């Protein structure tokens, strides 16, 4: 069973909900990225999204753009990221999902990238700029390699298409809390509850919510209906702000933030 499936199965068996952190690989450096992933694992996060730096943001706000620019300027490459994951994989219980542009996959070759990702111990892919109509081959390759392939449902997605996206996904369905780009927001849209209820009618996969979730209270609101809350920009901003303070300070401050965010989970 894929590690993502295992983690969510465990949560559901106890009525638990999850916190899914996002960080950009290589910010401030890959060694610190590995330490941060270990912090998330120790905190009991079921899944972590690991962003692969890319020069042309898809739906990333200024904080994550800054993070990716930093990593790219230091020549962080996909093979370096996968090597880091492979070196640590045996230490982590949590699943690790690659969040990346299809341009990266296409340049390396889908079969080659998926094979390398699986060998490194990655558990799934999120490719926001790959439409489901063009994803059949990649989905099949991912399935054969034991990787989940999750797609995004936006607030403006029509119900019929939302059903198609959910049915095309494996591992979980990524539900965008709001339209626009990533970034911290002051509130969770009220209409999210109904959208999640509608998706529950067409899929048994876990529903995870991201885009604008940045506080323990917002995590609490999201997991009242969803299986997990994704927090990205709030964590990445902490990393960006503390780059010059050194790895020890940065890692400890991110650990404290994760503890605070997990305060929004039940139990």
Of 5, 49, 123, 227, the active-site residue reads: 49
| Euclidean distance between the first and the last CA atom of the chain, given in angstroms as a whole number | 27
* 49 is known as an active-site residue: yes
Tokens 């990346």 belong to which residue? 100
Q: What is the CA radius of gyration of the chain?
A: 17
* 133 is known as an active-site residue: no
Of 5, 27, 41, 60, the active-site residue reads: 60
Nearest CA-CA partner of 2 in 171, 208, 167: 171
d(CA 31, CA 178): 33
d(CA 181, CA 185): 11
- Estimate the crossing angle of helix 136-145 against helix 110-120, to 10 degrees: 30
d(CA 174, CA 166): 9
Tokens of 128: 């926001």
The catalytic residue positions are 49, 60
């Amino acid at each position: 069973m894929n590690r993502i499936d295992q983690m969510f199965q465990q949560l559901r068996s106890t009525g638990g909900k999850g916190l899914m952190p996002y960080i950009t690989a290589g910010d401030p450096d890959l060694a610190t990225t590995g330490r941060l992933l270990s912090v998330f694992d120790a905190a009991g996060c079921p899944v972590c999204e690991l962003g692969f730096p890319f020069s042309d943001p898809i739906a990333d706000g200024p904080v994550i753009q800054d993070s990716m620019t930093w990593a790219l300027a230091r020549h962080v490459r996909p093979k370096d990221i996968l090597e880091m994951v492979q070196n640590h994989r045996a230490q982590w219980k949590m699943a690790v999902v690659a969040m990346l542009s299809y341009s990266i996959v296409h340049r390396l070759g889908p079969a080659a990238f998926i094979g390398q990702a699986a060998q490194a111990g990655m558990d799934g892919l999120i490719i926001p700029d790959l439409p489901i109509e063009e994803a059949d081959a990649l989905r099949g390759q991912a399935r054969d390699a034991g990787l989940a392939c999750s797609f995004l449902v936006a607030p403006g997605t029509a119900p019929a298409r939302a059903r198609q996206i959910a049915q095309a996904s494996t591992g979980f369905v990524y539900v965008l809390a709001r339209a626009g780009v990533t970034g911290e927001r002051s509130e969770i849209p009220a209409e999210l509850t109904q959208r999640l209820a509608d998706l529950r009618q067409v899929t048994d996969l876990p529903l995870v919510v991201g885009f604008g979730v940045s506080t323990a209270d917002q995590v609490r609101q999201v997991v009242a209906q969803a299986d997990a809350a994704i927090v990205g920009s709030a964590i990445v901003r902490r990393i960006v702000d503390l780059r010059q303070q050194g790895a020890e300070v940065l890692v400890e401050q991110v650990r404290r933030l994760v503890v605070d965010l997990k305060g929004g989970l039940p139990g």
